[in-house]
Structure 1
Amino acid sequence: MSTHYDLITMGRSSIDLYSNDVGAAFPDITSFGAYIGGSPLNIAVGASRLGLRAALLTAVGVDKIGEFIVERLKREKVETRFIPQKPGTRTSAVVLGIEPPDKFPITFYRENAADIQLSIDDVLNTPIGQARAVQLSGVALAKEPSRSATFFAAEQAKAGGATVFLDLDFRADGWHDPRAYGVQIRALLPMVDVAIGTEEEINAAMLRRAEDITIRHSQITAPEIRGDVEANIRALLGRGVEALVVKRGARGADVYLQDGRIVNAPGFKVEVLSVLGAGDAFAAGFIYGRLQGWDWYHSARMGNACGAIVVTRIGCADFMPYLDEVLAFIESKGGF
């Protein structure tokens, strides 16, 4: 089998248990639906559904949840043969309540997470240098050995000529100090071609003072982070990335380039049911566009379209759109 891939994503994976009782308070939930999730996994599935040859480098425990994830990925035509089992660890799980459009009580079960045990040897066993693009994740930088493995993967990708995409992917509860997140991101950026994140994640990447972050609840992973977004964008661009893509929700996305240009790609108006998974859908669509040779505007509009479709659904990987669906959606909204 060929080891050449359009995209290899690397990082966390999980079983996602979504409440089937939409709008119910958490104690009143009677059942859950089982799906697959985790940002790099979602992006791999999204890319595969768009027609890219995608592989995922994650790790699972020697457990039934790991079997569930690998089997579901195979059904999505995402290459799984580079996913090691890590004895003595557990495959991650996420449990979510659903109170649309923006309340999702969420609990992460990531103690002794298998994907955090990804190692440099696991990277060496994956054809990172033969991929057209590699997508890395900020969450993987929180702990060793996945931190060193991520830096090593970036080195391997650059040496092989792959385009390196970094999803800033900030989860405050995964860090001993949220400021440590920025230290690691800033160290990795010189090996990154394109970074993608929200305004909050950009502020987190430049966070200096503990008082500038407010974590509203231990089960909410998108804290309020104060900062000068435009100044922080300039600072991150100064680390050498070719482009910094800022996801702005319903407003679409802006692509900030090294030469000072800002490419604005408006969003698509839809009725929002759930924002879960929208950012990962955006990344899959954006990377798809870039690998087709599209310019920044059309790639970002493709990402916006994928995200717009996903916000009309409740879920992540299992609800990513297919290529024909996205193109029809764009056409229905007046085209690119």
Structure 2
Amino acid sequence: MARVLTAGHVNWDVTLRVDRLPEPDGESRILSQRTSGGGSAANVAVALSRLDVEPSLVGSVGDDEHGHLARRELDQVGVDLRGLLTVPDTETTVKYLLVDETGEVAVLGNDGANEAVRPDDVAPEHVQSVDHVHLTSQRPDTAARIAELAADAGIRVSFDPGRRLADRDFSAALDSSDVLFCNHREAETVLETEYPGSEFADRVLVVKRGSDGAVVHTPTATYEHPGFGVEPVDTTGAGDAFAAGFIAALLDAEDYERALEHGNACGAIVASREGARASPSTEALESFLAEQF
């Protein structure tokens, strides 16, 4: 079984379904409320576990009730938690996710404990014991340390820096990454174009386009997939599910077209359900794909 290390945020999510996203000086009505573990690194780890990949995690939580609940959820699905740091006298990061009736999401959050992992906290033998490393948003120096350790060991590194890509200096981590995930807006803002320039000519760029699918640029070819027509319910975690599906497929067979198809399918399934942890099992993914043809 392939082993993947995910590194980055581990949160506690409070999801509020609302009739519409609030505007300045406006008011929205809460339709329902639910709580669960969240954070991109944790979401990807959970999604990988359901796709028969052995996940391991580097991240941090507080020593409060939310941290204990987040740790328990991850442990229950078989995530290796030796790299999950519990920070004394600190609250676990809580994200408040506002989801409207079309599935669009707005996020509020506190800082909490989710960037407590420093470069010196990362065990080299942990990073170098896996088959693939997937980085998500986190401290840039920690991301760089993990990426460099993996690169030195010849382990493929993927990086999905998320919404804060334009605001943080991830250049060192990017230099050691083999696969970069971003959305269309991030690609235009940070890379000036969604197509790889000379600095990305030796790696893979995956551009997520939401309901319009995704495109992957490799050093030798470009592949596109239009996505799957599903009715969005909650897009929270769809990008994390996409990354998990893409990575799992790529580990199974070095086929970027197949990886793109599986990533889009996992993202579509999560977007059609409530919650960031609604990722499919291998059997459910295969069934979904079979129904499309």
The change in CA–CA distance for 1:105 and 1:300 in structure 2 (over 3 A counts) is closer
Report the Cα offset of residue 56 of structure 1. 1.1
- Asked if the contact 1:82/1:125 (under 8 Å) is kept, the reply is no
Report the Cα offset of residue 104 of structure 1. 3.2
User: Within 1, Cα distance between the matches of 2:90 and 2:244?
Assistant: 29
- Residue 8 of structure 1 is matched in structure 2 by 5
User: Within 1, Cα distance between the matches of 2:125 and 2:272?
Assistant: 35
- Residue 40 of structure 2 is matched in structure 1 by 39
Structure 2 segments unaligned to the other structure (5+ residues) = none
- Residue 332 of structure 1 is matched in structure 2 by 291
Q: TM-score, normalised by structure 1?
A: 0.80
Q: Deviations over 1:194-229 (max 9, x none)?
A: 1111011112324xxxxxxxxxxxxxxxxxxxxx52
User: Within 2, Cα distance between the matches of 1:84 and 1:119?
Assistant: 10
User: Within 2, Cα distance between the matches of 1:278 and 1:251?
Assistant: 13
User: Within 2, Cα distance between the matches of 1:258 and 1:121?
Assistant: 34
Q: Per the alignment, in what secondary structure is the counterpart of residue 316 of structure 1?
A: coil
Pairwise mapping of residues 128-143 of structure 1 onto structure 2 (< 5 A)? 128-137=127-136, 139-140=137-138
Q: Per the alignment, in what secondary structure is the counterpart of residue 99 of structure 2?
A: coil
Decide which of 306, 318, 323 is 2:282's aligned counterpart. 323
Q: TM-score, normalised by structure 2?
A: 0.91
- Asked if the contact 2:239/2:267 (under 8 Å) is kept, the reply is yes
Q: Structure 1 vs Structure 2: percent identity of aligned residues?
A: 30
User: Within 1, Cα distance between the matches of 2:184 and 2:71?
Assistant: 33
- Asked if the contact 1:189/1:239 (under 8 Å) is kept, the reply is no
Structure 1 segments unaligned to the other structure (5+ residues) = 141-145, 173-177, 207-227
Q: Deviations over 1:259-305 (max 9, x none)?
A: 3x211123111112222211111000000011102400001100011
The change in CA–CA distance for 1:299 and 1:30 in structure 2 (over 3 A counts) is closer
- Asked if the contact 2:15/2:96 (under 8 Å) is kept, the reply is yes
- Residue 195 of structure 1 is matched in structure 2 by 180
Mapped pair 1:304 → 2:277: no
The change in CA–CA distance for 1:294 and 1:306 in structure 2 (over 3 A counts) is same
Report the Cα offset of residue 64 of structure 1. 1.1
- How many matched pairs? 288
Higher share in helix: 1
Report the Cα offset of residue 27 of structure 1. 5.9
User: Within 1, Cα distance between the matches of 2:38 and 2:252?
Assistant: 26
- Asked if the contact 2:41/2:135 (under 8 Å) is kept, the reply is yes
- Residue 121 of structure 2 is matched in structure 1 by 122
User: Within 1, Cα distance between the matches of 2:63 and 2:284?
Assistant: 36
- Asked if the contact 2:134/2:159 (under 8 Å) is kept, the reply is yes
User: Within 2, Cα distance between the matches of 1:159 and 1:277?
Assistant: 31
- Residue 286 of structure 1 is matched in structure 2 by 246
The change in CA–CA distance for 1:315 and 1:121 in structure 2 (over 3 A counts) is same
